[in-house]
Chains A and B, each alone.
Chain A
Amino acid sequence: MALTNDTNGGHLRVPLPAWLKTTFLTLGSIAVTLLGLLFITFIIGRVMPIDPVLAIVGERASQETYDAVYHQLGLDKPLLVQFLYYLWDVLHLDFGTSLLNARPVSEDIARVFPATMELATLGIIIGVVLGVPLGVLAAVRKGSWIDQVARVLALVGYSMPIFWLGLMGLLVFYGILGWVGGPGRVGIFYIDVVPQVTGMILIDAAIDGNWDVFKDAFSHIILPASLLGYYSLAYISRMTRSFMLEQLSAEYITTARVKGMSEWNVVWKHAFKNIRVQLITVIALSYAGLLEGSVLTEIIFSWPGIGSYITTALLSADMNAVLGGTVVVGLIFILLNIFSDLLYKVFDPRAK
Chain B
Amino acid sequence: MSETQSLRAWLLTDTPTSRRHARLSAIYQGWLSLRSNTMAMVGLGILVMLVFIAAAAPIIAPHDPFVQDLGNRLAPLGTEGHIFGTDSLGRDILSRLIYGARITLYIVALVALIAPVVGLLVGTVSGYVGGWPDLILMRITDIFLAFPRLVLALAFVAALGAGIENAVLAISLTAWPPYARMARAETLTIRTSDYISAIKLQGAGPFRIITKHIWPLCISSLIVRVTLDMAGIILAAAGLGFLGLGAQPPSPEWGAMISEGRRFILDHWWVATMPGLAIFTVSLAFNLLGDGLRDVLDPKAGE
Contacts and interface: CB of A to CB of B under 8 A. Distances in A.
Interface of A: 29, 32-33, 36-37, 40-41, 44-45, 47-49, 155-156, 158-165, 167-168, 170-171, 175, 242, 245, 288-289, 291-293, 295-296, 299-300, 310-311, 314-315, 317, 319, 322-323, 325-326, 329-330, 333-334, 337
B108 to A, nearest CB: 14
Contacts of B140: 36
Nearest to B266: A175
A37 B142 CA distance: 10
5 contacts: A36-B146, A155-B284, A161-B238, A161-B255, A293-B150
Interface string B217-254: 00000000000000110010011001111000000000
Contacts of B287: 155, 158-159
A311 B279 contact: no
Contacts of A311: 154, 243
Interface of B: 139-140, 142-144, 146-152, 154-161, 231-232, 235, 238-239, 242-245, 255, 258, 262, 265-266, 269, 272-273, 275-276, 279-280, 283-284, 286-288, 303
A326 B152 contact: yes
A326 B156 CA distance: 11
Report, nearest first, the 3 A-B pairs whose CB atoms are least far apart: A36-B143, A164-B276, A292-B148
A210 to B, nearest CB: 29
Contacts of B286: 159
A51 B249 CA distance: 26
A307 to B, nearest CB: 8
Contacts of B288: 155
Given A36-B143, A160-B280, A171-B266, A330 B159 contact: no
A161 B258 CA distance: 10
Contact of A159 (B150, B154, B160, B284): B284
Contacts of B149: 292
Contact of A37 (B147, B158, B262, B283): B147
A293 B232 CA distance: 12
A261 B300 CA distance: 31
B265 A330 contact: no
A33 B235 contact: no
Given A36-B139, A296-B239, A319-B158, A161 B280 contact: yes
A168 B243 CA distance: 17
Given A33-B146, A49-B161, A310 B265 contact: no
Contacts of B147: 37, 40, 330, 333
A326 B155 contact: yes
A334 B154 CA distance: 18
Contacts of B243: 296, 299, 311, 314-315
Contacts of A315: 243-244
A149 B75 CA distance: 36
Contacts of A310: 151, 154
B293 to A, nearest CB: 15
Contacts of A45: 159
A295 B150 contact: yes
Contacts of B154: 295, 310-311, 314, 322, 326
A32 B142 CA distance: 10
A33 B287 CA distance: 31
Given A44-B159, A314-B154, A319-B158, A333 B146 contact: yes
B96 to A, nearest CB: 16
Given A36-B139, A48-B160, A175-B265, 7 more contacts: A29-B139, A164-B279, A164-B280, A168-B273, A315-B243, A322-B158, A326-B152
B158 A314 contact: yes
Contact of B155 (A41, A156, A164, A171): A41
A155 B235 CA distance: 14
A167 B265 contact: yes
A337 to B, nearest CB: 6
A289 B154 CA distance: 15
Contacts of B273: 168, 171
Contacts of B262: 167, 300
A37 B146 contact: yes
Contacts of A334: 146
A309 B303 CA distance: 40
Contacts of A317: 158
A261 B171 CA distance: 51
Contacts of B266: 170-171, 175
B161 to A, nearest CB: 6
A156 B287 CA distance: 9
Contacts of B157: 314
